[in-house]
């Protein structure tokens, strides 16, 4: 029996001795259970109103560790019902965490009261008509749902044990969730998902080297704790004793996780057509209109959201049932679509709005020669290899970011990594470096989930200062 197994065994015995009942985790609502709640809400609702109801129940498990020890273990169960009421040309939401009749009625009343006699103009909101939604492949894993506390801890421990000799901190998360949407036109959609991740930072004992690695999964069986820990400790070891280099523009090799946050900020805050038309986001064209139809990124790149994406599936509808169809926001470098509401959908004679799932794949064009990170290094004359960046808006309107490198940054010279370098501050944006591409890799799901991004090698990344702390 291995040391680890015996520890777990003894922990199990301890728990049994404490006669703790086997409380279950990982419970969600089946379609029938959620639909019964939704039907009640629709019964409570004013028949004169158009009503949408969204029922969610999720269970999130989490094991957190610091200084090579588990510090907290969590289990959070969250239920929520959102009622959207549309009446008198107005729309309002009532939200409750109660699933009992009184709570549901309260939410209905909140929403309906707000649509009565209120001041102000609202945009158009029509009900989505009944339809079927596809079931995204791999979004639900029975193995993930069935994970119990012991298995979760065992997986976390398998990572922590590989960090002996380093100082490690990290988190293992696993969330099981169900969502149902129904409306008074008869629409019913149901989606369930399992999402998890393990990410870990490791430092060398002399506190000069730091490494990070992480992975998002849908199926718990895909989570290899020791592999993630090995990547982090390897980076920590190799980044020990870094030396500063002159901040300047350098070629960079970016791991996908390094720039995932930038893509998130773009998808979250800058994909709305109306804002672009009125000039308030990055896709406003100088002088008027939007940049739709213009080349905005390297022509080898497309941004596509697809709930059926095998690497990064997501629920195929938004909270009020608007379907997420496969959508090219950017196709071969040209901006094609921005999200819009129902006013625009009505103008265009469409049945429903174009909704933004804030999940996207950055897909290289077919026929593009894809490179591995090793190939990017091997063919690089001089550049910087970046594991991870902190990311904050420097200019919200122009989508420019600032932050620092962290957890593994190296100088690449004549085709090989030659030495670790001190962290540096940058001011840059994927709006620039995805137009200065030298090489593109195979897109992978990033550790935060939702974004499937390739590693890239890009020219002239703007490092502005030394930030030499670890």
| Smallest gap from residue 154 Cβ to another protein (A) | 9
Listed ranges 181-189, 300-308, 347-355, 462-470: which one lies at the site for another protein (CB under 8 A): 462-470
Q: The tokens 């986001």 sit on which residue?
A: 281
Tell me the chain's radius of gyration from C-alpha atoms.
25
**Smallest gap from residue 103 Cβ to another protein (A):** 7
Tell me how crowded residue 261 is: count the other CB atoms within 10 A of its CB: 20
Question: Which one of the spans 3-11, 130-138, 320-328, 368-376 is the region binding another protein (CB under 8 A)?
Answer: 3-11
Spatial contact of 258 and 456, defined as CB atoms under 8 Å apart: no
Residues in the chain: 470
Strand partners, 354: 340
**Nearer to another protein among residue 6 and residue 418 (C-beta):** 6
Among residues 213, 281, 248, 254, the alpha carbon closest in space to that of 409 is found at 254
Site for another protein in 258-287 (CB under 8 A): 278-280, 284-287
With CB under 8 A as the rule, give the number of residues binding another protein: 113
320 binds another protein (CB under 8 A): no
Binding mask 86-115 for another protein (x = CB under 8 A): ----xxxxxxxxxxxxxx-xxxxxxx-xx-
Asked if 67 touches another protein (CB under 8 A), the answer is: yes
Least distance in angstroms from the C-beta of 304 to another protein:
27
Instruction: Identify which of residues 117 and 381 has a Cβ nearer to another protein in the complex.
Output: 117
Instruction: HSE, CB side, 13 Å, CA atoms: give it for residue 196.
Output: 32
Residues 188-217 that bind another protein (CB under 8 A): 199-201, 203
Q: Please, what is the end-to-end C-alpha distance for the chain in angstroms?
A: 38
What is the H or E stretch that residue 8 is in?
helix 3-17
147 forms part of the interface with another protein (CB under 8 A): no
CB 309 within 8 A of CB 361: yes
Closest approach of another protein to the CB of residue 247, in Å: 10
* One of 147, 354, 447, 467 touching another protein (CB under 8 A): 467
What sign has the CA pseudo-torsion 420, 421, 422, 424?
negative
The residues in 168-187 that bind another protein, with binding defined as CB under 8 A, are 169-171, 173
- Window 440-459: contact mask with another protein (x via CB under 8 A): --------------------
Binding mask 20-39 for another protein (x = CB under 8 A): xxxxxx-x-x---x--xx--
User: Would you call 197 helix, strand, or coil by DSSP?
Assistant: strand
Please state at what angle helix 101-114 crosses helix 31-44, rounded to 10 degrees. Answer: 50
Nearer to another protein, 284 or 345 (CB): 284
Which residues ranging from 323 to 382 are in contact with another protein (CB under 8 A)?
none
Place of tokens 């499937």: 452
Phi-psi region of 3 (alpha: psi -120 to 50; beta: other; left: phi over 0): alpha
75 binds another protein (CB under 8 A): yes
């Amino acid at each position: 029996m291995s040391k680890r197994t015996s520890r777990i065994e003894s922990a199990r015995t301890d728990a049994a001795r404490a006669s703790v009942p086997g409380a279950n985790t990982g419970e969600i609502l089946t379609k029938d259970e959620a639909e019964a709640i939704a039907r009640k809400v629709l019964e409570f609702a004013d028949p004169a109103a158009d009503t949408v109801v969204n029922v969610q129940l999720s269970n999130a498990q989490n094991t957190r560790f610091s200084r090579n020890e588990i510090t907290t273990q969590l289990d959070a169960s969250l239920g929520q019902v959102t009622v959207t009421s549309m009446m008198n040309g107005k729309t309002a939401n009532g939200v409750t965490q109660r699933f009992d009749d009184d709570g549901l009625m309260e939410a209905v009343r909140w929403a309906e009261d707000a649509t009565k006699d209120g001041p102000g103009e609202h945009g158009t909101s029509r009900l989505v008509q009944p339809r079927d939604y596809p079931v995204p492949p791999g979004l639900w894993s029975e193995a993930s749902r069935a994970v119990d506390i012991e298995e979760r801890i065992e997986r976390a421990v398998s990572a922590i044990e590989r960090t002996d000799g380093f100082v490690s901190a990290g988190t293992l998360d696993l969330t099981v969730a169900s969502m149902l949407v129904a409306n008074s036109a008869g629409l019913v959609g149901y989606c369930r998902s399992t999402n998890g991740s393990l990410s870990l930072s490791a430092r060398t004992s002399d506190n000069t080297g730091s490494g990070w690695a992480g992975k998002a999964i849908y199926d718990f069986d895909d989570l290899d704790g020791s592999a993630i820990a090995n990547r982090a400790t390897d980076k920590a070891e190799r980044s020990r004793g870094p030396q500063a280099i002159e901040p300047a523009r350098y070629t960079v090799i970016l791991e996908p996780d390094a720039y995932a946050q930038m893509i998130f900020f773009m998808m979250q805050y800058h994909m709305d057509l109306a804002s672009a038309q009125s000039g308030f986001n990055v896709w406003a064209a100088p002088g008027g209109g939007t940049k739709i139809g213009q080349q905005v990124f390297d022509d080898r790149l497309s941004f596509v959201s697809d709930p059926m994406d095998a690497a990064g599936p997501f629920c195929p509808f938004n909270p009020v049932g608007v379907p997420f169809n496969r959508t090219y926001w950017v196709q071969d470098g040209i901006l094609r679509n921005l999200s819009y509401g129902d006013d625009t959908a009505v103008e265009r004679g469409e049945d429903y709005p174009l909704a933004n799932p804030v999940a996207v794949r950055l897909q290289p064009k077919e026929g593009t020669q894809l490179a591995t990170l090793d190939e990017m290094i091997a063919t690089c004359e001089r550049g910087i290899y970046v594991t991870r960046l902190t990311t904050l808006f420097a200019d919200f309107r122009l989508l420019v970011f600032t932050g620092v490198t962290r957890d593994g940054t190296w100088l690449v010279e004549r085709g090989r990594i030659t030495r670790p370098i001190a962290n540096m501050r940058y001011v840059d944006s994927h709006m620039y470096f995805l137009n200065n591409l030298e090489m593109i890799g195979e897109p992978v799901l990033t550790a935060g989930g939702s974004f499937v991004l390739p590693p890239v090698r890009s020219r002239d990344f703007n490092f502005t200062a030394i930030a030499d702390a670890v």
